């Protein structure tokens, strides 16, 4: 069974989404944030950019173990903006991100229920324009082998869907790839079987990774 920190859902690339409710504009700006300092910096930049807005409400979650969760209603009635936004992020099990919803008041009061719905809908719109990913914890391994075993190893890697980083073909073949942390023991055993104990993989480092459009990204 995976530990909670073996994978987590986050934002690879932030986006902007907008909704209009009774002439009020709600603009959600989303950004990745690995630290609370990054989140606060993003919030400050959005506030400066939208200095003439009625409100710049925010929510962010940082960390995978005992995460930091903060929010602000920025002048809206208590519990009608920041907390509903945070609830959306938590419900989607997202972390290491920040969302700011900027409101330009349209002249019509929405009531507490209307505000909650508007801020949550705006947050969802911002997330829809972002790239959401799952970061998996894995080990970057390197194998150097002769050509006799290449076919078997490549077939096994493809069968297990291990992300391949690179292959270098000279007088030998060197392959770099990622093995998810929960499959490392099985990988080592299988490699020993395939090579009759001749191959020993080199562990480069632990990494978080994701695959987007067939391309592996390391973090």
pLDDT tens figures, 4-45? 468 999 999 999 999 999 999 999 999 999 999 999 999 999
pLDDT at 1 (0 to 100): 37
Report how far residue 69's alpha carbon sits from residue 79's, in angstroms, rounded to the nearest whole number: 14
CA-CA distances (angstroms) from residue 129 to 27, 49, 117, 180?
Answer: 12, 20, 19, 28
Out of 69, 94, 129, a domain closes at: 129
Report how far residue 82's alpha carbon sits from residue 80's, in angstroms, rounded to the nearest whole number: 7
- The boundaries of the domain holding residue 83 are 4-129
- CA of residue 155 relative to chain centroid, distance: 30
What CATH number does the domain containing 157 carry? 3.30.70.240
Average pLDDT, rounded, for the chain: 95
pTM for the complete prediction?
Answer: 0.88
Number of structural domains (the chain) is 2
Indicate if the pLDDT at residue 144 is higher than 90: yes
pLDDT at 5 (0 to 100): 66
In terms of domains, do 46 and 140 share one?
A: no
Out of 89, 108, 129, a domain closes at: 129
């Amino acid at each position: 069974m995976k530990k909670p920190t073996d994978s987590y859902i986050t934002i690879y690339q932030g986006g902007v989404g907008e909704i209009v409710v009774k002439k009020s504009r709600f603009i959600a700006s989303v950004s990745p944030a690995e630290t609370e300092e990054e989140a606060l910096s993003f919030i400050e930049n959005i506030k400066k950019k939208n200095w003439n807005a009625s409100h710049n409400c925010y929510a962010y979650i940082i960390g995978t173990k005992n995460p930091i969760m903060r929010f602000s209603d920025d002048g809206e009635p208590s519990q009608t903006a920041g907390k509903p936004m945070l609830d959306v992020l938590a419900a989607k099990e997202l972390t290491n991100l920040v969302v700011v919803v900027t409101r330009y008041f349209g002249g019509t009061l929405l009531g507490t229920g209307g505000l909650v719905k508007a801020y949550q809908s705006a947050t969802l719109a911002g997330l829809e324009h972002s790239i959401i990913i799952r970061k998996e914890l894995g080990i970057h391994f390197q194998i150097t082998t002769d050509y006799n075993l290449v076919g078997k190893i490549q077939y096994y890697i493809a069968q297990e869907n291990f992300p391949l980083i690179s292959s270098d073909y000279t007088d030998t073949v060197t392959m770099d790839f990622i093995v998810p942390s929960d499959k490392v023991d099985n990988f080592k055993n299988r490699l020993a079987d395939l090579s009759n104990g001749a191959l020993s993989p080199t562990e480069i480092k632990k990494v978080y990774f994701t695959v987007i459009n067939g391309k592996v990204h390391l973090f």
